Structure 1
Amino acid sequence: MATFSLAWKSLLNRRFTAMLTVVSIALSVTLLVGVERLRTEARTSFANTLSGTDLIVGARSGPVQLLLYTVFRIGDATNNISWKSYQEIAAHPKVAWSVPISLGDSHRGFRVLGTTTAYFDRYRYARDRQLVIAQGQRFADLYDAVIGAEVAEKLGYKIGDPIVVAHGASDVSFARHDDKPFRVVGILTRTGTPVDRTVHVSLEAIEAIHVDWQSGAPIPGVSISAEQTRAMDLTPKVITAALFGLKSKVATFQVQRFINEYPQEALSAILPGVALSQLWDLIGIAENALLIVSAFVVVVGLFGMLTTLLTSLNERRREMAILRSVGARPGHVFALIMGEAGFLTLFGVLLGLALLYLLLLAGQPIIESRFGIFITIDGLSPYEWILLVAVVGAGFLVGGIPSYRAYKLSLADGLSVRV
């Protein structure tokens, strides 16, 4: 204990350089554990984007591509599904519910999704959480629109505001359906999913705005007003994809095979959880690279401590000699330097954790509102404990280098005068 007390007093005597070393290690620990926490929460948020859906059905394509455009609104479908085929699959005796989806239009950079009111009942996220309308109501009229929280925030929309949908992903003047404007009737609560960045309208509305369009362009000389379309048959001819819930999980692979072998069209039925895992494997390389960079930052911080101890050790050779002269054994000198390294590492880790939780408290609402990732502020996970133990162990290992050097210093070398 006397050795550690002496090590503590020695650090207090060099408090400025010691504090700089502690801060360097603390920042490294904050970055390392912070990246791990963000990585874990991002993965959880990613996995919770869609919940409670057994199958996603679309035109024949790869699972990841189908997942990207149906759930994440990224990319476009290779083909559509006929309304007849959708109805036949929805009528399968093992299907409990279905939600059709029509994509392809946009509004000022945000995707427009045509669907039915069943979407608000059946779509689940974050382990079976249901969509909630914060303001207004669901769409009821042909030209009603329900917008996500981010759409409302970024564009400053409120209930009753008009919006104009554009054909395709580019919102250019010649592609706008400005003769058939929509009206915002509902704003969804924030979900942290692509729903926040989506404008929801009815399938009939998608048909209505395209009645006088063909092959992605207005039909020359044909103009059908918004009111005229109300009297028309707006039953969809095609949809982009559909979400399906089954009566039994046991029937999942049976229904999936039925859809994949559907004779009338080339269709694909995917399991969302499996496709999410495949997608995460593709993008997980970036998170691992970031974690590796954070680990190297910790290494740099520890090498900073090593440099500080080695530099001060050369200046403290006479101090070590005096300790030896009053009876300190080489082991005491070794323990003194190891004690200093231990104090620096432990205080750096503790300060890093304190800084991390302060940043989480301050940044939690910002991260949730900007990126849709909810960061839980709770105790350290087992893996985070492993990281911290590894940092402490590395600190003691690095501290062993100057400690061994001090151990080898002889009394005569410490007292000799160099010219």
Structure 2
Amino acid sequence: MKAIANLAWKSATNRKATAILTILTVAISVILLMGVERIRTQAKSSFANTISGTDLIVGGRSGQVNLLLYSVFRIGNATNNIDWKSYQEFSQHPAVDWAIPISLGDSHSGFRVMGTNHSYFEHFKYGQKQPLAFAKGREFNSLFEGVIGSDVAKSLGYDIGSEMIIAHGISDVGFSRHDNLPFKVVGILAPTGTPVDKTVHVSLEAIEAIHVGWESGARLGPTPTAEQLESHRFEVKQITAMMLGLKSKIQTFALQRQINTYNKEPLSAILPGIALHELWGMMSVAEQALMAVSIFVVIAGLLGMLSSLLTSLQERRREMAILRAMGARPKHVFALLISEASALTFAGIITGIAGVYLILSIAQPIISQQYGINVALTGITAHEWMLLGFVQLAGIIIGFIPAFRAYRQSLSDGMTIRI
């Protein structure tokens, strides 16, 4: 067996160009297969880790996926707002331990602005129930102070003391900006790998203040100055959504039913975990399509290797005949071809694994910043080992085709080839 392995190695090194191209073909297939699997699983993990410890999310009457997207992922807009009195009623409910109000609708340089209060910094958790932490500064205390996520600070070059102008609506254009009411950055949150990193946080009272003199997204006339607004005490009228943490998980469904049948205004209460499950169910078609493309690329790579082996086999008929003449049995020739195919597949897999880690290490910060997906450079999972095992097995099976052809070639056929 050792002699066959040595012979297979010498044969491959004698055909370096063909062997390297075959290895690269398999490696590219493995890179795509593992890359898609990594991004798929890490995306699911990042989505699942975006919010933790929240029992119910409450918003205007809407589908649970839509409510989850705009309240947690800052994607899309609410169908209706919630009256502040409804928030007060449910935040003081005997079953509720804490409540976080959320007000959305404004933006700053492409980043969503969220109005909230102290409860957000105290109770909001992500990942494995990790609390928010400040990289620099503190919470907002006065009307025109803001706290920004790590991506906002990095992208816009902001630091403590920087000024920012908030725009009305998602589109940050000149006519929609609150130019005369600049906010001062007083805190920068530590990176979380969630939409928190891409959010500008201000107080609920500040959201009310900057919209004095505005109606339906349009400025109706001159707006008060910051000094005039700071001397006024604002009362919150409406919010976009609220997150609730309950004293006991047993009360979750009872409170959800009570909120969904609330007769003062139409509300929807969702369980984040169930809504996430529905969201991934909707995306399963795209997920399966990506995996199917990866599998077809692997098949194409293995067929390329088969083509290379069959082509080289025609050029090596004399080599096989000489081996037979020197005492090699048909099974030895068969084992030689299988060993070559197996070795080339294995080398392609190893090269592919190295390529995946190299590409992900380079692309990791880009993926995190652009898409909010934290791709961790973890070890190879059991599922990935299984996929790589299938690739190796497929490579060995592919090797049976040229090996069987070589096995059937006779001694006389090999010795009489014209060269």
Which of the five TM-score ranges fits, normalised by the shorter chain? over 0.9
- The 5-angstrom pairing of residues 19-418 of structure 1 reads 19-220=20-221, 223-417=223-417
Do the aligned partners of 2:318 and 2:417 also contact (CA within 8 Å) in 1?
no
Question: AA paired with 1:89?
Answer: F
Distance 1:310 1:193 in 2: 51
Distance 1:379 1:173 in 2: 48
Stretch moving more, 253-262 or 224-233: 224-233
Distance 1:390 1:226 in 2: 66
1:365 offset after TM fit, Å? 4.4
Question: AA paired with 1:125?
Answer: Y
SS at the partner of 2:283?
Answer: helix
- Note closer, same or farther for the CA distance 1:303–1:181 as it changes in structure 2 (3 Å cut): same
SS at the partner of 1:228?
Answer: helix
Question: AA paired with 1:406?
Answer: A
Deviations 1:48-105 (A, max 9, x none): 0111110000000000110111111111111111111111111110000001111111
Deviations 1:346-388 (A, max 9, x none): 1221222233333344444454445433333333211101101
Question: AA paired with 1:11?
Answer: A
Counting aligned pairs with the same residue, the percent is: 58
Distance 1:67 1:370 in 2: 20
Deviations 1:6-63 (A, max 9, x none): 2222222222321221222122212211221222112111110111110000000000
Question: AA paired with 2:118?
Answer: T
- Note closer, same or farther for the CA distance 1:199–1:65 as it changes in structure 2 (3 Å cut): same
Distance 2:358 2:171 in 1: 41
Question: AA paired with 1:28?
Answer: S
SS at the partner of 2:5?
Answer: helix
Contiguous gaps of at least 5 residues in structure 2? none
Stretch moving more, 102-111 or 60-69: 102-111
Deviations 1:131-182 (A, max 9, x none): 1111111100111011111111111212112211111111222222222221
Kindly report the root-mean-square deviation, in angstroms, between the aligned alpha carbons of the 2 structures.
1.7
Question: AA paired with 1:374?
Answer: N
Contiguous gaps of at least 5 residues in structure 1? none
- Note closer, same or farther for the CA distance 1:310–1:223 as it changes in structure 2 (3 Å cut): closer
Distance 2:151 2:385 in 1: 36
Distance 1:293 1:309 in 2: 24
1:5 offset after TM fit, Å? 2.6
Do the aligned partners of 2:259 and 2:268 also contact (CA within 8 Å) in 1?
yes
- Note closer, same or farther for the CA distance 1:211–1:417 as it changes in structure 2 (3 Å cut): closer
Do the aligned partners of 1:98 and 1:243 also contact (CA within 8 Å) in 2?
yes
Distance 1:236 1:74 in 2: 23
- The 5-angstrom pairing of residues 4-23 of structure 1 reads 4-23=5-24
Do the aligned partners of 1:191 and 1:372 also contact (CA within 8 Å) in 2?
no
TM-score (norm 2): 0.95
Give aligned pairs, total: 418
SS at the partner of 2:128?
Answer: coil
1:213 offset after TM fit, Å? 1.8
Stretch moving more, 206-215 or 399-408: 206-215
Question: AA paired with 1:331?
Answer: K
